Structure 1
């Protein structure tokens, strides 16, 4: 079982680092659906794996100047508050409700990725009016795209919408034990118009902070089992280091394409399991 936890952690870490969705979006369904582990302990282990994903990926992305540290710190205010609220709500919902909610989150993420794939063949950066608040907080940035071999500058917009979405992402993280990277990437990429690669990198950093805010609550309520969480965390840390290198070599469209079938399959399975217990 330890070897299985380690291997699944590596796979989750690679995918989490590439897509900015966190290892939890793979770990929780795998532990519950494939191994039959109680969702309470699966969520506890998932929280630890999210922190491991963030630690491994953020170091590499920060070194390569891909993540936007100012944006992360600004939006983390909303996600941290949301994570604490979400963790406090876990005792209110029955496991079946968590399955349905988590499955719906996966399907929602898949839907948004499909829209991106169908809607445009390449990234369209925001070129509208410059927000005074964005300028004051110095949130605009640039990064070197290793796949396109050029430096790409970008500017952001709609901070209010992005901040609101991040609060919802924090609640989802605390409630389900995931990094809620799907919402984080959606907020930055779709609402605030940050390109997908820095959105993914910045999401990886934020996930760790959000998960850490709720990890203490999970620890004291007995949801974190070291025999499950420890090998998963080691695997995720290894996988996330590998994933950061892979992501920078991929096309943006390829990154979106990779995860759609995985999200659809896991989302449908979780929803079916949830409704089956009602």
Structure 2
């Protein structure tokens, strides 16, 4: 193997390790960071960047979900219902996403990310209590899978980012339990989306697989740290990470002109 190829491989492994750690820490697959990196640094079109990030996310999400459910078990019936609704929605929306103009898809992704970051930061000063009163019946929780699945199908990410605050604010779940439920939603969706993007040839396996290997080495450490940090610290750190990513995604194309 030539030296440049070795350097590229090591770079992807290290990036995957970083993404896996943050994915485990925040209950996401790391795609929210990987997609901007693949698009803006490696020059991938939006659909290809989303598909390639899914190749990394699937194994990381499986391990992360397993680790979360061991510490914070969730009702299997609810988890299966959420996962099934989300997977069907993902399948339908992903077919639409693979046919969209790359610039349109990138714009949608950017607006989604910016809106999410602003919403999270606007509510970060609200007091965090040990228990939050449920505003909706737990029977309605599977419906969250429809919204999360739509995000996964269209953007390749976002299912957990949308679902987690809904589970905490509307259904009164603790942050770590909400992230476990979100992983029950995102994990099968990511597999469905990966198959759909792959069938449309929007996956670069030579990049996605090294990212996955690197991520698998660190995702457990991220999950372990998540259970040691104060809940307010987790939410605030998560919000600032999303804000930084959204600013980078929006400004980099302008600076490159």
Task: Give TM-score, length-normalised by structure 2.
Answer: 0.86
Residue in structure 2 matched with residue 219 of structure 1 by the alignment? 198
Residue in structure 1 matched with residue 179 of structure 2 by the alignment? 200
Residue in structure 2 matched with residue 133 of structure 1 by the alignment? none
Count of residues paired in the alignment: 249
- In the alignment, is the contact (CA less than 8 A) between 1:78 and 1:163 conserved in 2? yes
Give me the whole-angstrom Cα distance separating, in 1, the residues matched to 2:172 and 2:124: 16
Q: CA deviation at 1:276?
A: 9.2
Q: For 1:269, which of 227, 248, 253 is the aligned residue?
A: 248
Q: CA deviation at 1:45?
A: 1.5
Q: Is 1:247 aligned to 2:235, yes or no?
A: no
Residue in structure 2 matched with residue 32 of structure 1 by the alignment? 39
Give me the whole-angstrom Cα distance separating, in 2, the residues matched to 1:224 and 1:179: 18
Question: Structure 2: which 5+ residue stretches go unaligned?
Answer: 1-7
Q: Which moved more, 1:90-99 or 1:222-231?
A: 90-99
Give me the whole-angstrom Cα distance separating, in 1, the residues matched to 2:129 and 2:114: 23
Residue in structure 2 matched with residue 99 of structure 1 by the alignment? 106
Give me the whole-angstrom Cα distance separating, in 1, the residues matched to 2:71 and 2:251: 41
What aligned pairs does 1:62-141 form with structure 2 within 5 A after superposition?
62-126=69-133
Evaluate the alpha carbon distance shift between residue 31 and residue 237 of structure 1 in structure 2; reply closer, same or farther with a 3 A threshold.
Answer: same
Evaluate the alpha carbon distance shift between residue 236 and residue 67 of structure 1 in structure 2; reply closer, same or farther with a 3 A threshold.
Answer: farther
Question: Structure 1: which 5+ residue stretches go unaligned?
Answer: 129-155
Q: CA deviation at 1:205?
A: 3.3
Q: Which moved more, 1:193-202 or 1:178-187?
A: 178-187
- In the alignment, is the contact (CA less than 8 A) between 1:58 and 1:204 conserved in 2? yes
- In the alignment, is the contact (CA less than 8 A) between 1:99 and 1:274 conserved in 2? no
Give the secondary structure class of the aligned counterpart of 2:72. Answer: coil
Give me the whole-angstrom Cα distance separating, in 1, the residues matched to 2:252 and 2:106: 7
Evaluate the alpha carbon distance shift between residue 19 and residue 66 of structure 1 in structure 2; reply closer, same or farther with a 3 A threshold.
Answer: farther
Q: Is 1:157 aligned to 2:137, yes or no?
A: yes
Residue in structure 1 matched with residue 57 of structure 2 by the alignment? 50
Q: For 2:216, which of 224, 237, 248 is the aligned residue?
A: 237
Q: CA deviation at 1:78?
A: 2.1
Q: C-alpha offsets along residues 196-234 of structure 1, whole Å, 9 cap, x if unaligned? A: 111112222321111111222112211122211110111
Evaluate the alpha carbon distance shift between residue 69 and residue 182 of structure 1 in structure 2; reply closer, same or farther with a 3 A threshold.
Answer: same
Give me the whole-angstrom Cα distance separating, in 2, the residues matched to 1:27 and 1:212: 17
Evaluate the alpha carbon distance shift between residue 66 and residue 112 of structure 1 in structure 2; reply closer, same or farther with a 3 A threshold.
Answer: farther
- In the alignment, is the contact (CA less than 8 A) between 1:100 and 1:275 conserved in 2? no
Task: Give TM-score, length-normalised by structure 1.
Answer: 0.80
Give the secondary structure class of the aligned counterpart of 2:218. Answer: helix
Give me the whole-angstrom Cα distance separating, in 2, the residues matched to 1:62 and 1:188: 16
